[in-house]
A and B are shown apart, each in its own frame.
Chain A
Amino acid sequence: MADSTAHVSRSRDLDKLLLRPGHLVGPTFDPGTELRDDIQEYVKILVVGAGGLGCELLKDLALSGFRNLEVIDMDRIEVSNLNRQFLFRKVKAMQPCPMSNDSNLMLIDLSIALVRVLVLLQVRLKDLRLQDVGKPKAEVAAKRVMERVAGVNIVPHFCRIEDKELDFYNDFNIIVLGLDSIEARSYINAVACGFLEYDSDDNPREETVKPMVDGGTEGFKGHARVIVPGLTPCFECTIWLFPPQVKFPLCTLAETPRTAAHCIEYAHLIKWDEVHSGKTFDPDEPEHMQWVYSEAVKRAELFGIPGVTYSLTQGVVKNIIPAIASTNAIISAACALETLKIVSGCSKTLSNYLTYNGVEGLHTKVTEFVKDKDCLVCGPGVLIELETSVSLRKFIGLLEEHPKLLLSRASVTHRGKNLYMQAPPVLEEMTRSNLDLTLFELMDKTPKDIVHVTGTTSKSDKKTSLSMKLRLVFKGVDGVADMDMAGGA
């Protein structure tokens, strides 16, 4: 492939978006070569996950003109990633909707155009090779994209997302998620929302907003969403979108298995413990998986149940369903495009959740979910100004009188430290001595910080239990945090 041709065609497509004015552009859009160059120079993007979707995202972002990319993933390439034959997961319910709207159609148009461009360029990362088995996914993905897309620099991080310091994440302008676990999404969401600060009028401070673009696929279904903390709903605001995984009753597994999945879960959850007392099952250990598989086969033979295979075992235990390359391509294209739109303002961003369903025919829909204004993760909380001399006991009393709270019997927690717990008695006893200390001291003399309180509120004449986020500001304390205090929690 002649590199120069690819380069010209690549920038030509981007130039159409970035160099010309348009009528669907965002309010801050300022077209021109400076915009294109600034995107290359100043924008730093983190891709979380280097699986099927993550690889696709890296490639699409690189081809969309971003030059400073990093990718984080803790997995190594397995043989099963090459021939991808995982199966099984209970199908998630999609919200039925008979209508689509204009912005939806426009988005699909753009996405399809982008997919076409990318396919024409013949960048095919998906053909992971046999010699890659055992290597970190992040490193191989970064290398492959850099080999094929001139000018892009991709730094791989082969580790768990929890292993990185928070300022690692703060360095990026946008975080793009290509993950398959809700735990990991929730973690990144909490990190990104954790940077968000509000001003005294409860408006998000723009320079603390860390946008996220989240993609997810499951077989023929997928979603792409834009999360701008403080402005659009965060992951926790809409946690109910992710139905909990169905868990079979243990006694059914033990007594009356009816399906191949029951036999596998029996071997995984009950038989494993019986035989390996104290040793935890590790789903990434092929020997463990093989053991569960062979036990599941025995169990299935005993009850005359067909269908236990090694790949089904992996699917049930690791909760994986087959990856469809084209679903990943479509979702990734939508995510890359949204990222470009957030950065450049070249078009209005997706507002705010796109679902794609290719199971029967093809159906897409954009839903504008609303923010939970009381969200403990992304919401502003209640601003409270305090004297540094206020004791914890007095503070708890103030919460009862505060017109926005009317919170009685409050328990207080700060950065993972439980300052006071009303119950159970054992915790009350352990925290009682804090009551007569000043809150300022208990919070390591931080001039302003978030605390969380829970208790009972008598607002609207009904007693309800309540968790609240409070933004405490101590009066008369210098606004600059002492560096020594940053290490807590």
Chain B
Amino acid sequence: MIKLFKVKEKQRAENPNGAAPIKKQSAGELRLHRDMGELNLPKSCSISFPNGKDDLMNFEVTIRPDEGYYLGGTFIFTFQVPPMYPHEPPKVKCKTKVYHPNIDLEGNVCLNILREDWKPVLNINTIIYGLYHLFTQPNHEDPLNHDAAAVLRDNPKMFESNVRRAISGGYVGQTLFPRCM
């Protein structure tokens, strides 16, 4: 390609201010664009874009469970989609402090498809459904909040009243949960 390079180099020397090319969207952004255009959420879930319509890589999902222990609560998750999406899964954190066996007090979420079982064919819709199911079917077998998991396993009645207390704003054990209903 040396002949071509030579011609280009000479052109460049004569005309140093060629038209500047413009930034292209990354493959990850384009795939996310598709995910968003196809998003089909249940009534109990909604999505918002704090940085406006052109930043799809950072958004929040609000879940209001319509059944189960967490009925009546409102739980907000932040999503950070990495540039290598869907090669890598989004980073998801629960912004609302919640008494939940699979979510710790720092907002880390134990959902298999967010880590070990992530596949590029999955999408944002799948993750949101997965999060929704954490509230309808909390699971004591994959605990992140060990205490909550033990109570759910050994004493579901007490677990239910602990959840009610937490989402109405109150202490469970030593931990204060802000009201989220």
A residues apposed to B, CB below 8 Å: 28, 30, 35, 38-39, 42-44, 165-167, 170-171, 173, 182-183, 186-187, 190-191, 193-195, 206-207, 211, 236, 239, 242, 244, 246-251, 254-255, 269-270, 273-274, 277, 342-345, 376-377, 409-411, 413, 415-418, 421-424, 426-427, 430-431, 450, 452, 454-455, 465, 467, 481, 483, 486, 488-489
Contacts and interface: CB of A to CB of B under 8 A. Distances in A.
Contacts of A187: 26, 83
Contact of A486 (B20, B26, B46): B20
A488 B83 contact: no
Contacts of B84: 182-183, 186
Interface residues of B, number: 62
B166 interface: no
A243 to B, nearest CB: 9
5 contacts: A30-B3, A194-B23, A246-B116, A413-B30, A417-B54
B116 A248 contact: yes
A422 B8 CA distance: 43
Interface of B: 1-9, 12, 18-31, 33-34, 36-41, 46-49, 52-54, 56, 82-84, 87-88, 102, 104-110, 112, 115-116, 118, 120, 142-144, 146
Contact of A426 (B2, B49, B142): B49
Contact of A376 (B2, B27, B37, B39): B27
Question: What's the dominant secondary structure at chain B's contact region?
Answer: loop
A190 B24 contact: yes
Contact of A251 (B4, B7, B40, B143): B143
B134 to A, nearest CB: 12
Q: Tell me which of A35, A250, A345, A410 has the highest count of chain B C-beta atoms within 10 A of its own C-beta.
A: A250
Contacts of B88: 244
The 5 A-B pairs of least Cβ separation, nearest first, read A411-B37, A454-B34, A251-B142, A247-B115, A194-B24
A409 B25 CA distance: 21
Contacts of A430: 52-53
Contacts of B33: 411, 413, 418, 452, 454, 467
A43 B23 contact: no
Contacts of A427: 36, 49, 53
B18 A167 contact: yes
Contacts of B22: 166, 415, 486, 488-489
B104 A415 contact: no
B110 A250 contact: yes
A42 B142 contact: no
Contact of A415 (B24, B40, B109): B24
B115 A167 contact: no
Nearest to A414: B25
Contacts of B112: 249
A87 B21 CA distance: 41
A244 B47 contact: no
B20 A254 contact: no
A423 B37 contact: yes
